[in-house]
Amino acid sequence: MTRSPVREASRVPEGMRAPLGGGVPEVAPAEASARGGRGRTWPHRAVLALVMVVQALLSTRLHNSAFMDEALYIYAGRMEFAHLLHGAAVNPSYSSTFSGSPMLYPLLAGAMDVVGGLTGARALSLVFMLGCTGLLYSLTRRLFSERVGLFAAVVFAASQSTIVLGWFATFDSAALFLLAFAAWLVVRTARAGPFAVLFAAPVLVLAFCTKYAAGLFIPTVVVLAVIVAWPHQGVRALWRGVLLSGAVGAIGGAVLYGSSILAGIRFTTTSRPHGTNSASSLVDVSVEWMGLAFVLACLGALSYVWRGRVGEVASAGRKAAGEVPGRVWRATLGLLLCGTGLLAPAYQIHLSTSVSLHKHVGFGLFFFAPLAGVGLSTIVGPSFRRTPIALLVVRAAIGLGIIGFAFSSGVAQSQWRYATWPDSTRLVDLLRPRVNGEGRYLADIAQVPTYYFQDVTDWSQWTGTYHLGYTDAEGVEHTDADAYTAAIGDGRYDLVVLQKPGVSKFDPAIAKALPSSGRYRLSAELPFSTTFGDGSYQVWTRTSD
C-alpha cells in the first residue's frame, strides 16, 4: 500500500525537518543531544559531579569561628523557634535591622545549628551553593550546550564568592539559590504557554524576602523570561514579562503589606547610609573578585553575537522565511547577562561601601557565568575533531591555564576573606566559666558571645559598643561615648571585652574609662591574627560592686 507523502512528512520529528528549499535539516540543541544518546550525557554529568565535589572541598577547607553576622542570624533563628514553640521573648530589633526576614533563613540556620552546631548551619549554605552550580549547568545547557554548561559551572565554582558563601551561614546562599531556581524556571518554560512563567513568581518573592538585596536581580529574571521565549512565541513572549511582573508585585505586596520587615528593607537596603569607600577602590576589588570571569563573559558575548553557533535556544532568532534578527536577539541576551554582572558593583559604588560586596558579586556572577562558559569554550575551541594536534595542544594549555588560574585565585581570595575576622575560640574558652544567667556583659562584638553562650545567657545580658543610652543612679540620661563612660564608672558590667584594634568609634572612650574608673582590672589579653594584621582581645573584670 502506497503511503501518503503528507503522512510521511508528518512522521518526521519537529526540529529535524529540512528547510523549505531542501538541504540539511536543522536540529535544535536539545533534540540533537537526545539523538546523540544518553551515553553522551553521562560523561558531562560525571564531570559536573567532579566540579561540585571540588567546590565542596574548597568551601569546607575554610576554618574560623563564627563571624558576627553568622552568630547573629543563627541565634536569632533559635530564638524565633523558641518564640513559636514556647512564647519566649525575641529581640524586637530583628525584623527592623536584618537584611532579610528573620522568619526565613534564620529559622533554617537555627534548626541546622540545633542538629550540627555552626558546622551544620554552614553545611546548609554549602547545599544551597551546590544547588546553584547544578542549576547553572542545567540553565546554560538549555541556552547553549552541555559543554558550555560545564565551563560555566567551573567558572562559577572557582570564584571566591562561591567558595566563601558555600561555608558561610548568612542569608546570601539561600537567596542566590532561589534566584537561580527562578532563572532556571523561566528558561525551562520557554516553550510553554505564557502562564507557565508564573511558577517563578513566588520563588522570586521568596528570594527577595530571604535577602532584600536579591530584589536587584528580579528585573533580570523577568527580562530573561521574555528573551528566551521570543524565538518560540515572538511578540507573545512579552506576556510572560507582564504576567511575571504582575504576579511578583501582587504576591510581594500581599506579603509585605503592613509587615514589620518594611523597616528592615529601608534600614538595610533602600535607605542604607552611604559609606566612605571611594569609587576607584570599589572598582579595584570588583575587578579582583570577578574580573577574569567577566572578561571571559564579554569574550563569550562577542563571540556569540558574531558567530551564533553555540547551540542557541531552538534556532533562536530565525524567522520562517529567513535568517534576519538572530544577531539582535543574541546581542540582547548578551547585554542582559553581562549587564547583570555589573549591578552589585554599581549599586555599592552608589552607596560608597564595600560591605558585603564580596558576596553580592556572586549574585551577578551566576547570571553572566553562562557567557563566561561560552568565552572559555571559544578559547578551547568548538571541537577536538578535525583540529591540528599543535593547535589542539595550545588551546588545551590555554584553557587549563585559565581554569587553574581561576581556581588558584579563588582559593587565595577565599582564604584571605575567611581570615578577616579574629578566631574567638580561645576567648570563648576563657569566658565560659565566668559567665552566667545573672550577669551583665559589654563586648565589642556582642553577637559572638551571645551565640556561643546561648545555653547559659540570653541576648538581653550582652551590650555592644555601637550604641547605648544609659541613665545613672541620679536619673541623668547619657548617650554615646558619655553613656559608656557613665556605665563603666557605675560598675554596671561584670565583664568587658574589647578588641584591639577597636571596631567601634566609642572604643577609645571605653578603653580610657576602664582603668580610670577604678572599678575594673585587666584580667587577660589574648592575641590573634587576621588578614589585616595582629590584634588582641582584652578581658576586663569588675573588682567591686
Could you give the CA distance from residue 289 to residue 280 in angstroms, rounded to a whole number? 14
Could you give the CA distance from residue 247 to residue 235 in angstroms, rounded to a whole number? 20
Q: Which three cell numbers stand for residue 181?
A: 531556581
Q: Which CATH number fits domain 425-542: 1.20.120, 3.40.50, 2.160.20, 3.40.190?
A: 3.40.190
- Residue 383 has a pLDDT of 58
Q: For residue 471, give the amino acid letter.
A: T
- Residue 382 has a pLDDT of 63
- Residue 312 has a pLDDT of 42
Could you give the CA distance from residue 269 to residue 98 in angstroms, rounded to a whole number? 10
- Average pLDDT, consecutive stretches of 10 residues, N- to C-terminus, the chain (545 residues): 40 36 37 46 90 98 96 94 82 84 94 96 98 97 93 97 98 98 97 95 97 96 96 93 97 85 79 86 93 96 82 41 64 96 94 91 97 93 66 84 96 96 97 95 95 94 93 90 95 95 93 94 96 96 81
- Residue 545 has a pLDDT of 57
- Residue 40 has a pLDDT of 61
- Residue 32 has a pLDDT of 42
Q: Are 435 and 442 in contact (CB under 8 A)?
A: no
Could you give the CA distance from residue 542 to residue 107 in angstroms, rounded to a whole number? 36
- Residue 481 has a pLDDT of 94
- Residue 387 has a pLDDT of 62
DSSP 3-state of 471 = strand
3-state SS, 318-384, equals CECCECCCHHHHHHHHHHHHHHHCCHHHHHHHHHCCCCCHHHHHHHHHHHHHHHHHHHHHHHHCCCC
- Residue 261 has a pLDDT of 77
Could you give the CA distance from residue 315 to residue 232 in angstroms, rounded to a whole number? 9
Could you give the CA distance from residue 448 to residue 72 in angstroms, rounded to a whole number? 7
- Residue 285 has a pLDDT of 92
Q: Who contacts 22 (Cβ-Cβ below 8 Å, separation ≥6)?
A: none
- Residue 310 has a pLDDT of 59
Q: Where are the domains of the chain?
A: 37-418, 425-542
Instruction: Summarize pLDDT for 303-335 with one digit per residue, the tens.
Output: 999 887 654 443 344 443 333 348 899 999 999
Please, what sign has the CA dihedral across residues 144, 146, 149, 151? Answer: negative
